[in-house]
Each structure stands twice: as C-alpha cells, then as structure tokens.
Structure 1
Amino acid sequence: MKKILPFLLLTALLTTACNDDNANSTLITPEGISGKWNLVNQRGGFQGHSLDFETGEVVWTFNSENEIVAIENNSEGTDGINFPTAIYNYSMIPNEVSPESCDKTLNIEALDLGCINMEGNIMTITPVGADMYTLTFKR
C-alpha cells in the first residue's frame, strides 16, 4: 500500500500539471491561422446585430510569414467590422484586457479584434472588450 500511494500522488500531479487553463494560446499559432478564411457571420456590437455572409462574399487570407492579411470584401453592408478590400498588417499582441480568455489577441492595423479559437475548419474571433463583434470564419 505504501508503494501505491506515491504512485497515485505522482499520477494525480502529472495529470493536473498538464492541464492548460489557457488552451486558446495553442490555437493561434501562425500555422493555424495561415490560409483563406470565409467570413460567415458577425454578431454583437452595441445593438446586437447578427449578419450572415455567403461563401466568397468576405474572404480573409492570412500570410503568417509576412504578418499580412488580404481582405476581399464583396459585401454591400456597412454594419459591424467592415474592412474594405485591401492588404493589412496584423499581429498577435498580449491580451491585457481579460488574460483569462486568451494570452494573445488578433490586431489588424491596431484594431484589437479579440481572442482566436479554432476548431476544425471553423475560426471564431471573440472580442475581449465591450461593443465589439464576434466574427465566425470557415475554411
């Protein structure tokens, strides 16, 4: 019994030590964000808008090597986050607003869009501040 107790304690310690409270930080690697993403929905803001987009209507193509994103905007809407068609600089900066949500946020031309979460071919950018929009993309 004395030999089993240290083994159980070691197993419990290793199991809890591997738990990452900030799981989103591993999801925003340059390799993960690189490529073409279709904006499919944006929701939120002060008035709580929800806008759906057709595939190809608004496309963001991330180049992690140069830290640029080419945005192709064929939408006629003006609500929410509405970047005109152009190439923008982006960066991942430390999250100082709500670090418990994620350790870094996506910034495009100094506009902090929020935390990135990727699950399969879906990417969600969730704001860390008030009156911003949650953006949902699909590969």
Structure 2
Amino acid sequence: MKVYGIMLFLGLIFVFNGCSTDNTHEKNDMVSGTWSLINVSGGFAGIDVDFEKGKIVWKFNAKVGSLIVANNDGSNAIYNGLPTGTYTYSILQEKDQYYLQINDKEIGGIVVDKSHLVLDQNKTSIGSGADGFVMVLAR
C-alpha cells in the first residue's frame, strides 16, 4: 500500500511541475521586451547607419508571440529594418545558435545579452550568406 502512495505522490509532483520539455516560451523570452534599433550595417552597398534610440522601436511580447514595430525613421536610409506593423515571431534553435523567425520566415541569427540584441541576416539555419544586414538593437 505504501508503494501506491509513493507512486501517487510522485505522479502528482510531476503533474504540478508541468513535466514538459517544450521550451519555446523560454526561447522567446530571450528577446521579450522593448528594443530600439540603433545601427544597421552591411548589405550589398556596405552601409553603416546609426539611428537615434527610440526612433525605431521593436516590442517583443513572448506571451503571445507578437512583435510590434514602430518605425518613425524619416531619413533616407537604404535599410532601416521592418516597417511599422504587427508581426508574429518565434525563435528557432539549431545546436547552440538561435534564429529569429518573423511571420514564419527566418530572418537571421540572433545574439542577445542584457542590453543588446544583434540580428545577423548573413547567418541562417541552413548556412551563411554575404549581403545581408546586421542590425543592432538596444534596450
């Protein structure tokens, strides 16, 4: 009888702890929050453009998997990221590298630390490219 009690107790612990290996929400949390696009470099023309913090804002909401972009850049920059709008996003993980997908399309590799997010369009899960842009966003 004690064995059944122990098994029931252990079963309840597993149920209440969520015993799931799905960490999609955790991966999406790595970019969750508000970021300002501060620099874009690369591309075929080899640009390197700085943007005023707060001009181009990307707001990631991990709970619902949405990205809201407010692009208020009035310059004639060749590339300034995504236009204003609402997008869906997810994070794809291949080995130790993470990739950002927006509206189910892979955009590029990402590296995140406490204050910066780097999005490199030259790095994809299927290989590397040459003429993509590298975007640096700051908290």
TM-score (normalizing by structure 2)? 0.68
The residue number in structure 1 matching 2:120 is 126
- Choose which of 107, 112, 117 in structure 2 pairs with 1:113: 107
SS in 2 for 1:120: coil
1:57-136 to 2 correspondences below 5 Å: 57-76=55-74, 77-93=76-92, 102=97, 104-127=98-121, 128=123, 129-136=129-136
RMSD across aligned positions (CA): 2.0
Output one character per residue of 1:9-33: Cα deviation in whole Å (capped at 9) or x when no partner: xxxxxxxxxxxxxxxxxxx822221
Q: How far does residue 70 in structure 1 lie from its aligned partner after superposition?
A: 0.2
Q: How far does residue 110 in structure 1 lie from its aligned partner after superposition?
A: 4.1
TM-score (normalizing by structure 1)? 0.68
SS in 1 for 2:30: helix
Q: How far does residue 35 in structure 1 lie from its aligned partner after superposition?
A: 0.5
C-alpha distance in 1 between matches for 2:77 and 2:47: 12
Tell me whether 1:31 sits opposite 2:29 in the alignment.
Answer: yes
Specify every segment of 5 or more residues in structure 2 that has no aligned partner in the other structure, as ranges: 1-25, 124-128
C-alpha distance in 2 between matches for 1:94 and 1:36: 22
Q: How far does residue 67 in structure 1 lie from its aligned partner after superposition?
A: 1.1
C-alpha distance in 1 between matches for 2:131 and 2:67: 23
Larger radius of gyration: 2
Q: Which moved more, 1:33-42 or 1:70-79?
A: 70-79
C-alpha distance in 2 between matches for 1:62 and 1:37: 8
Instruction: Name segments (4+ residues, structure 1) moved above 3 Å.
Output: none
> Is residue 81–residue 133 contact of structure 1 (8 Å, CA) maintained in 2?
no
How many corresponding residue pairs? 107
Specify every segment of 5 or more residues in structure 1 that has no aligned partner in the other structure, as ranges: 1-27
Aligned letter for 1:66?
A: V
